[in-house]
Amino acid sequence: MWEQHCCLPLLPSADLTELTRYPAGSYLSVNIGYSPQSTRESLELVTQFRRDALTDGRFRLVHSIEDAWPEQPTEETEATLALAFDLEDSGPLEGDLDNVELFYELGLRSLLPTYNRANAAGSGCLDTEDTGLTAYGRDLIRKLNEVGVFADGSHCSRRTGLDIAEITNVPMIYSHSNFATVWAHPRNIGDDQAKACAATGGVIGINGVGIFLGRNEPADRAGRIEAMADHVVYGVELVGIGHIGVSSDYSFDAEDFNRELAEHPEHYSEEITRYGQLQWVPPEDLLGVSEVRGLDEVLAARGFSEADRAAVFGGNFARVARQVWRD
């Protein structure tokens, strides 16, 4: 499986063992910061994650696409998890584009310019005014292209996402975004954004967050899988099988996040807080190793061939990584 975005606690003490809930052989992109983090904090975090991975035989660090998704898997790659990292906002760069290269050398392979709200790079999906990418944001996309990092439109505003598609000279992605036509939420993307992404050769990863699926009742675990399938089907019909992936956005610190949400709702938009405690699709439900039918089985029942499902679960993201990543 290619998991383009998941979240451990943003603490150097976070335990990588949680990631082994994904099957061996998978590629995982782990978040190392968003808008609150400084350059120093994100560097400390990724350095510790790398140190932990290097001393744990269950993981291998990604330097190239062959590390992430080898064309000829070996016994070692089939038995370990490939780890790379992403930034969920450009804030940790602190305005210095040279930091893109610095983070790349430490395993950064995906970065989104804005996280929900406007910053120096552009507008976010929860802003009332959408002015798209700034001049700095446009330079950032060019730098990502140059260095070999995915330019990611998730959490960005409509105009920002469309600007990314216009400026990039390699495929862009929406790492973890669902379709607003299927479920109307400002975090979900419009058909025009999806088509613009696909026109670059890019991929949209369907996430498993209950409020973005319209299935946030705690007991509705099977319903969340069915809703993910709804978004996959819609995306395939809209832009084609080659442009849809799965990227659950699973939060391994969900309890801490929901506690923060309950104690400090003023820090969050009503578009987030009005649903109550957030629910996520855990790896076990996604992969069908719990009492819930997994997404692969649900898609098969909806007529997806084995080759189509392989593309959605990893082949499509791997294809664009071969086009974008430098090494």
Q: What is the pLDDT of residues 30-50, one digit of tens each?
A: 999 998 899 999 999 999 999
pLDDT band at 113 (very low <50, low <70, confident <90, very high): very high
What does the pLDDT average to over 14-37? 96
- Report helix, strand or coil for 140: helix
How would residue 167 be classed by pLDDT, with cut points 50, 70 and 90? very high
Confidence of residue 262 (pLDDT cuts 50, 70, 90): confident
pLDDT of residue 269: 87
Q: Tell me the pLDDT band of 260, cut-offs 50, 70 and 90.
A: confident
- Give the pair of three-digit tokens for residue 42: 């994100």
pLDDT band, residue 82 (cuts 50/70/90): very high
pLDDT of residue 125: 97
Residue 160 has pLDDT above 90, yes or no: yes
| pLDDT computed for residue 261 by the predictor | 85
Walk across the sheet containing 203-206 and list its strands.
Answer: 173-174, 203-206, 244-246
CB 125 within 8 A of CB 187: yes
Q: Which residue shows structure tokens 């299935």?
A: 215
Judge contact between 216 and 272, C-beta under 8 A: no
Quick check: helix, strand or coil at residue 208?
coil
Contacts of 181 (CB under 8 A, 6+ apart): 190, 191, 234
Does 267 score more than 80 pLDDT?
no
Residue 122 pLDDT exceeds 80: yes
| Mean pLDDT of the region 278-288 | 96
Distance CA 41, CA 99 (A): 13
CA distance readout (Å), 228 to 79, 130, 189, 286: 28, 28, 14, 9
User: Which strand (E) or helix (H) includes residue 76?
Assistant: helix 75-79
What's the pLDDT score for residue 69?
A: 97
User: 170-327: what fold?
Assistant: TIM Barrel (3.20.20)
- What torsion do the CA atoms of 301, 242, 292, 298 make, to the nearest 10 degrees? -10
Pairing, β 81-87 against β 27-31: parallel
The mean predicted confidence, pLDDT, of the chain is 97
CA 304/CA 302 separation, integer angstroms? 6
Q: Using 50, 70 and 90 to split pLDDT, how confident is the model at 256?
A: confident
Cα(320)–Cα(327) distance, rounded to whole angstroms?
Answer: 13
pLDDT score, position 247: 97
The reported pLDDT for the residue numbered 299 is 98
* 159, 130 contact by CB (below 8 A): yes
Report pLDDT for 175. 99
Distance of CA 181 to the CA centre of its chain: 20
Radius of gyration for the alpha carbons in the chain, expressed in angstroms and rounded: 18
- Assess contact for 108 and 32: CB atoms under 8 A: yes
55 by Cβ neighbours in 10 Å (0-12 / 13-18 / 19+) ranks as exposed
Question: CATH 3.20.20.140 spans which residues of the chain?
Answer: 170-327
Tokens of 186: 């400002």
- Confidence at residue 264, expressed as pLDDT on a 0 to 100 scale: 82
**How many residues are present in the chain?**
327
User: Does the structure show a pLDDT above 90 at 106?
Assistant: yes
